[in-house]
Structure 1
């Protein structure tokens, strides 16, 4: 979901009835926690791990009360921070393929 364009992310949130942008980060976090196990079992290539870790770090930097504006629906389409997350997510997908 993080690799989708901002308008597609907004549509996905609407379809799922999820009013909060942080659902995108929570979904990523759920999967990211499984990555070490998936690599260990040979289900994922470890080459994507640094990029996935960078996404996790970027989302962490975006967190906090001082960044509350980043977690508004309209920020998905307008803020460069979300463009960076999308770029990293697309890179990770190519490494996972």
Structure 2
């Protein structure tokens, strides 16, 4: 934890509370902060990984949506106004994937 709002500053009381069992920080934080940190770190890492996977999936979905939008515009330009296609629209979209 940083103290004084300066980057790299260390809260010495908190550091002592973490390193010395039974010592409690002035603000009432428990002395077993290191144990709590050890328990929550793997969960935090798992959540970061999950966020990364979801961000990748979102980017892939957005790219596919952009591709489908382009395909729709091309079809709209190539199809004469008022003309009916031989295949249903859904079949054309499914075929492009």
Structure showing greater relative contact order (alpha-carbon pairs closer than 8 Å, 6 or more residues apart): 1
Answer whether TM exceeds 0.5 for this pair: no
When normalised by structure 2's length, the TM-score is 0.26
When normalised by structure 1's length, the TM-score is 0.26
- Rg (Cα) greater in structure: 2
